[in-house]
Amino acid sequence: MKKQFLFLLLLVSSFGIAQSLNDYKTVVVPLKFEFLKSENQYRIATLSKFNLNKVGFDVYYSNQVVPDDINRCAVLNYDIVKESGFLTTKLHITFKDCYGKIVYQSQIGLSREKDFQLAYTDALNKAFASLYELEYQYNGGTNVALEEKPEKREKPEKREKVEKIERVERVEKVEEVKQSIPATVVVNKSLDPNELLYAQPLAGGNYQLIDSKPSVVIKIYKTSDANSFLAQKGNQQGILIKKENQWFFEYYQDDKLVSEKINVKF
């Protein structure tokens, strides 16, 4: 009975902590973490920002200036903690408020990869899995203790004029974005055989191949043959096949077989 009570208490506590993440929208990511020797080593800071943006946060690096209109107590400080492990890499992520109190701590992401780049990437992605499961959704920050700033009241005429200008600017920005996006973003773009793509493990033995940004370039799905995968690059479907220790992305275009050599590190 005592064990059941303790388990229930921990469950309720964890739920309360997880829920409080929804009070925050902005996160600051350091460029260097305690367990690494240099800034953005193994592109850990870049990968962190990528995942946090995907979750739904507004993210700033520690060397960037957070806008003045964002209160410092409405900002979470992100960190990665490495735990000791024999022949394994163990990482978990934490979010702390402006007083240094932990708002959320993820589950441990464990990797048995020997290559440091792959090990840290794999472990960090697994740590983020528990954050994705929370299905974060910003609630407006109603429960965050902010330092109140005096409210500036604008005249109705001025406010209407400002809102009209903002609407025009939004429309112009949308048009700029539309014009800047090529009609075929990824589909017909040839792969650079000299660019190294890293294979990030997904569920079921599948992978996604990412570049140095990092951006997902191709998703591959396992088959019964270890040397071939079903592959998808944008809307282009084909196969990833290994020939003479080299990987090729092959697909049909205009009834012709196209074979693109790619550099993959699993």
pTM of the model: 0.51
From first to last of its 266 residues, the chain has per-residue pLDDT tens of 545 544 444 444 444 444 489 999 999 999 999 999 999 999 999 999 999 999 999 999 999 999 988 998 999 999 999 998 888 999 999 999 998 999 999 999 999 999 999 999 999 999 999 999 999 999 887 556 544 444 445 555 656 665 666 665 555 554 554 444 343 333 345 677 778 888 888 877 888 998 887 888 899 988 888 888 889 888 788 899 998 889 999 988 887 888 889 888 88
Q: How many CB atoms lie within 10 A of CB 20?
A: 17
Structure tokens at 257: 């077989």
CATH of the domain at 59: 3.40.50
Residues 32 and 111 in one domain: yes
Domain of residue 83: give its range: 16-132
Residues 207 and 126 in one domain: no
Residues 37 and 127 in one domain: yes
Closest CA to 240 of 228, 251, 232: 228
Domain endpoint, select from 93, 109, 132 = 132
Domain endpoint, select from 109, 132, 155 = 132
- Provide the Cα torsion 145, 149, 153, 158; round to 10°: -100
Note whether residue 82 is domain-resident: yes
Count of structural domains, the chain: 2
Note whether residue 205 is domain-resident: yes
Domain endpoint, select from 132, 153, 186 = 132
Residues 20 and 115 in one domain: yes
Query: Distance between terminal CA atoms of the chain?
Result: 48
